[in-house]
Amino acid sequence: MLLAIDVGNTNITIGVFEGETLKCTYRMTTKNDRTSDEFGIAIRMTLEWNGIKTEDIEAVCICTVVPKGLHSLSSGIKKYFKLNPIIIGPGIKTGIKTVTEDPKQIGADRIVDAAGAFELYGGPVLVLDFGTATTYDLISEDAAFLAGVTAPGIRISAKALWEDAAKLPEIAIEKPDSILAENTVTSMQAGLVFGQIGQTEYIVKRMIEESKYDKVKVVATGGLGRLISENTDCIDLYNPDLTLIGIQKIYEKQK
């Protein structure tokens, strides 16, 4: 079995693959101050609690955008799983060619999403990840990472509202029944959700127009991707496990 770990700015997502089949997923908050023991014990206990034996894990592959906690996480894997994890980064075969001005600036998570989307759906494909940041990445028909757009994620925008505006409350991020809001909470929800939908539709349309592609498959992932994809026609499909699948696809290329 493969243990795939995606370390994001907000959450760590863990997936267990048996071959190409994703057997189960788990999430934990991202905390950079965890020790190697805390990482190792938490992951091991989570798997064993769900009936997955430590000795059944044959390999570990990690994608992270948070370098600060990587040493502790890697050390925890080595100590509690007796495995040297594969870290997705420079020198790792991904199947994605980067043709941007500075390929080293492209985050590992975006390459992983691109690899997963291209392997599953082919190209050209436009990958939208609604995470801490909202990213839009265009992959060509020959697996080249052509361009990417980065925008504040919905939660970042929401946090800015209630932290920087004294009278605005902390709210749940969900779509109100109408954009014609009649109170403070629904007015904030309308601005955040409908604003994100509008941004998504415009950026997707503009990227496809400027790419000169006749047809591009648009794939969304990320925590709030379902909310947005269900409320716009510009997204073809939503795959919540795209990043983990990308990690699995990249791991297979190393073999």
- What CATH number is associated with residue 233? 3.30.420.40
pLDDT value of residue 206:
97
Domain for residue 253, yes or no?
Answer: no
Q: Are residues 73 and 36 in the same domain?
A: yes
Helices (H), the chain: 36-49, 70-81, 108-121, 154-164, 184-211, 225-229, 242-254
Nearest Cα to 248, choosing from 58, 103, 28? Answer: 58
For 179, counting Cβ atoms within 10 Å of its Cβ (0-12 exposed, 13-18 middle, 19+ buried), the class is middle
Model pLDDT, residue 10:
85
Per-residue confidence (pLDDT) for residue 68, from 0 to 100:
87
Both 112 and 232 in one domain: the answer is: yes
Instruction: Decide which of 87, 109, 132 is a domain's last residue.
Output: 87
- Cβ(115)–Cβ(246) below 8 Å: yes
Cβ neighbours of 162 (radius 10 Å): 14
Per the structure, the complete domain to which residue 6 belongs is given by: 2-87
254 falls within a domain: no
Q: Is residue 82 part of a domain?
A: yes
R_g over Cα of the chain: 19
The domain boundary residue, chosen from 87, 111, 136 = 87
**What does the pLDDT look like over 127-148, one tens digit per residue?**
999 998 999 999 999 999 999 9
Of 6, 37, 56, 109, which residue is the catalytic one? 109
Residue 52 domain flag? yes
Same domain, 19 and 107: no
Q: Which two tokens stand for residue 213?
A: 């592609």
Same domain (yes/no): 134, 218: yes
109 is catalytic: yes
Number of domains the chain is built from: 2
Same domain membership, residue 15 and residue 125: no
| Cis, bond preceding 240 (omega within 30 deg of 0) | no
Low-confidence residues of the chain: pLDDT under 70: none
138 and 205 in a single domain? The answer is yes
Asked if 115 and 215 sit in the same domain, the reply is: yes
What is the model's pLDDT at position 144?
96
Do 149 and 78 belong to one domain? no
The whole-model pTM stands at: 0.92
